[in-house]
Structures are given as structure tokens and as C-alpha cells.
Chains A and B, each alone.
Chain A
Amino acid sequence: MASVALTNLDPASRAAARGWSDLTIRNMFIIPTLVFLIVFNIFPLIYSLGYSFTNFAANRTEPWQFVGLQNYRELLTDDHIWSNFVITAKYVIVSVAGQMIVGFGLALLLNRSFPMKGLITTLLLLPMMMSAAVVGLFWQLLYSPSWGPINYVFGLGDFAWLSNPDSALYAVAITDIWMWSPFVMLLSLAGLSAVPQHLYEAAAIDRAGWWYTFTRITLPLVSPILLIALIFRTMEAFKTFDIAYTMTTQPTAELIAIRLYKQAFQQWDTGKSCALAYIVLIMVLAITNLYVKYLNKVKER
């Protein structure tokens, strides 16, 4: 590949001969980044892959032993871990579905001209820019059974959102919907504004109803970008740690990332945590793959 011309510039020209060669510059610009990412992301993962086959515990000094696939076998047959995955799946479905509905709904409402539209759109985007851990913590006060404004406004008395095992997970999901619906809204708005206006005009001339126009014109044209939002939010919701961790300690809201954190840094079951981390990692990479595929598709249009 070294002999390939790197740009449109003629490699034999005088301009290309001055200073460092394009090849040198290219390598100088790209290699440090790749090395950095390999050293601080890939190497640690290889390191932890090794530990995932041992019974290593980081808080003890006695030597660890190679245990083969035992960690993986134990994890895959552990009911507790399975329940964490089921909790995570419920959380992903509820919170992503909520975000898609609220976010797309908001975008449909915003997709018209009115005074101060820019300001209102930016205000609506504020929640997603804020720290999930810190804001999530504050939702404890909003949800408080004794003096929380939410229970007061909705007349829910002393309903304990976050310490009730049945509702804790959904309370976290509601906060997540509040934080991330704006993300779906932002992407949907971009999709909606890209729908050619003449299609709507043609539909109006044909006296097409609102529903018909929506399902035959709007949805098909916006769906690629909605899909991007859906995949991205699914991946993020699957990885959720901070918001749930600062909001509640209910075991019924113990997402897989929280389980992993506890196993690694509270029980110090390091070898097994590395194995669990790998199981999670493979799932995330599968979704990432899908995400990049669709991202590139939208990009090409």
C-alpha cells in the first residue's frame, strides 16, 4: 500500500516532494491514536480475558489458579445472573419504547414553525446533556414518598417509587425516558425536516387523510433515522449503570452492569467478573456492529 498515491496530488510533483512525505504525515497522524486505543482499551481486555479463566480475587494475596471454563459455566447456569439479564431486558424495553414514543411524538409536535422554536427545542434537549448520576440522585427527592412533588402532583399519597420492589425499575426507566427522549426527538426532527415538502403537497391534493399521509409518507422516510435512534438507545440502555446505581438499591432494579460492578468491586470475585464482563462485551459489540452498519447507510444517503 505504500506506493499508492495518497491523495489526488501527483506524487511525482515538486509540491509532494517538499517537507515530509504524505506517507510519513499520514502515519504520524494516525498511528499514535491507534496505539493509544490498543494500549488502553484492547490490551486491558486481553488482560481480563486471561483472568476470566482463573479464580483470581483482587483483594487477596494467595496465588490464583487456572480454572478453565468454570467461571463461564457457573455464570451461564446462575439463576441470579439470569434474573439480572431479565431485569435488564425489561428495563431496555420499557425505557427505549418510552423514549421512542415520547421523543418521536415531541418531534411531530415540534415539526412546524412557531415563535421561539429554537429556544424551546434547546430547552427540551437539556436533560440529555446532564450527568445521569447526579441528576438521577436528585430524582430521589422528586420521587420521595413523604415530600416528593411527583406524588403530590399526581395524588399518589405515600407511594414509595424507589423502595417498592415492584416499581423501582420502572421509576428508574421513567427518569431515563425523561433524560433520553430528547435524543430521539433530536434525531426524529432531522428525519422529519428531510421529508420533501412536495410529497405532503401531493398528498393534500389527493385528499389523503392524516393517518394515510403519516403511515405512507412520513414513517417510511423517517424510519432509517428512527432505527439509528432505536439501536443506539438500546445499546446505551443495556449498558446503564450510573442512573440506576445512584437512584435505588432495590435488587429488583439490579441491572447487569450493576451486578458486574458489585461482583468485581464489592465481592472482589475478579476472575468471574472478567468472565461476566466478556459475556456483556460480546452482546454490546453485536449491537455496535448493527449500529455502525445502519449509521453508514444513513450517511450515504
Chain B
Amino acid sequence: MQFTNFEQFFAMGGYGAYVWSSFGITALLLIWNSGIAKYREFRMRREVKQWQLQEKDDSR
């Protein structure tokens, strides 16, 4: 362990703002990317299910 308390950990030896903004931006972009991919897949699968139901109705 390189830090003895939380303040030291957040300060990062004076580089805190640089280190945490880098990690924060990376986390944001990754979360946004996977979130949008997941949401698009969810929407597409819902549409496919709706088409399937419509076809069932049409064939009746």
C-alpha cells in the first residue's frame, strides 16, 4: 500500500487533479459506450418481438 490515508490517496502526491480527471473521463466514456450499445440492443430485440407478435396476429 503506497498511501497511509484517504487524503494522500486523493492528492496523488500533488497530481490528484490530473490522475482523477484521466480516470474519470475514461470511466465516463466506457460507461456511455456500453450503455448505448446495450440500450440499442434492447430496443432492437423489443422491435423484433413486436414484429413476431404482429405476424402471429396477421396469420390468424
B partners with A: no
Q: Which residues of A contact B (CB under 8 A)?
A: none
